[in-house]
Amino acid sequence: MTSAPAHHPLTWRDAALGRTMASSTAIALGNFDGVHLGHRRILEALRARAQADGLEPVALTFEPHPRQFLFPDARTSLLTSPREKAALLAELGITVVTLTFDADLAALTAEEFANDVLIGRLRGACFFLGSNHRFGKGARGDATLLRTLLGAHTEGSEVVLEVPPAFESGELVSSSAIRHHLKNGNVARANTLLGCPYALRGTVGPGDGRGRQLGFPTANLRIEDVRKILPFGVFGGQVTLDGVRHSAVANIGMRPTFKEGTPEPLVEIHLPDWSGDLYGQPLDFELLQFLRPEQHFDGIESLKRQITLDVETWKKVAI
């Protein structure tokens, strides 16, 4: 039985001090946030070439996201946490190498990054990247530059491959498009472009008992990575507990009906057909359908009627 693909977290200093991969590699470059259908096209091509040439397939990614490091005051919205991304890539049979994106790495020229990291330390023999991918200081590195640099290192078949963008029903598949759909409540479309349901993962934490007082006890999910996108509204979905999937309805937002509100968004998940204590347990909620926007209600009774309707609506759809 073969072992699971490895995940190698490296800093630039690690690579500079001589840590290398054990064998020659085929490398896909990118941030791979979401590991969506467009990413999967690149990764499938990578895996096929690696298998044909006897290379180790590697996805080279970064933490934090370069945009987060370069623009720290801008809000970062991730589709996948580092752990989620690594797991999705490993499921595809890809070894994950994560470089810490810091000042040293940001200062490397495209030539230095290609020669020292990609070729020297990671032993890259061929490379896959999207047509708009750039690397190195000032984003000067691209497929053309990589081909020029590799001319002195390789011969024979093409070693730098630009994978064309993927389209789904005429729409370009991109992390930006998926973020847009999520923020606008179009969960079904976001999931189509992702190739799997968008999920919020974390641990159930203490709440104020408001849901139980209303007759709809909720699990208050503490998200494992606060950079994840939180689309506001009421959503139907599924929760996985001990390997068993349960229908669930979640409210994500600021609870505008209550005067005190909340300083930060809350993820409150109600499981209509399950009861028990979830406090302290890990929990995954998959968003499957947008039911309605979060809204203010004039009183508790009108809120309870609406929650009842939300649950009934999702039960009919989920059957």
Residue 23's domain is classified under what CATH number?
3.40.50.620
Per-residue model confidence as pLDDT tens digits over 124-148? 999 999 888 899 998 899 998 888 8
Tally of domains within the chain: 2
Please say if the pLDDT value at position 197 is more than 50. Answer: yes
Residue 254 lies inside a defined structural domain of this protein: yes
**What is the residue-wise DSSP string for 64-122?**
S-HHHHH-TTSPP-BSS-HHHHHHHHHHTT-EEEEEE--HHHHH--HHHIIIIIIIIIS
Task: Return the beta strands (E) in the chain as ranges.
Answer: 7-11, 25-29, 56-63, 95-100, 124-130, 160-163, 167-168, 171-172, 198-205, 219-223, 233-241, 244-253, 266-270, 282-292
Q: Is the peptide bond before 217 cis (omega within 30 degrees of 0)?
A: no
**Residues 102 and 11 both lie in one domain:** yes
pTM attached to this predicted model? 0.86
Residue 7's pLDDT is what? Answer: 56
Residue 189 lies inside a defined structural domain of this protein: no
What is the 8-class DSSP label of residue 132? T
**Residues 86 and 206 both lie in one domain:** no
Per-residue model confidence as pLDDT tens digits over 101-123? 999 999 999 999 999 999 989 99
Q: E strand or H helix at 140, and its extent?
A: none
Q: State mean pLDDT over 276-296.
A: 91
Which residue range is the domain that position 261 belongs to?
197-318
**Residues 239 and 153 both lie in one domain:** no
Per-residue model confidence as pLDDT tens digits over 10-45? 544 444 334 456 689 999 999 999 999 999 999 999
Residue 73's pLDDT is what? Answer: 81
CATH number for position 254: 2.40.30.30
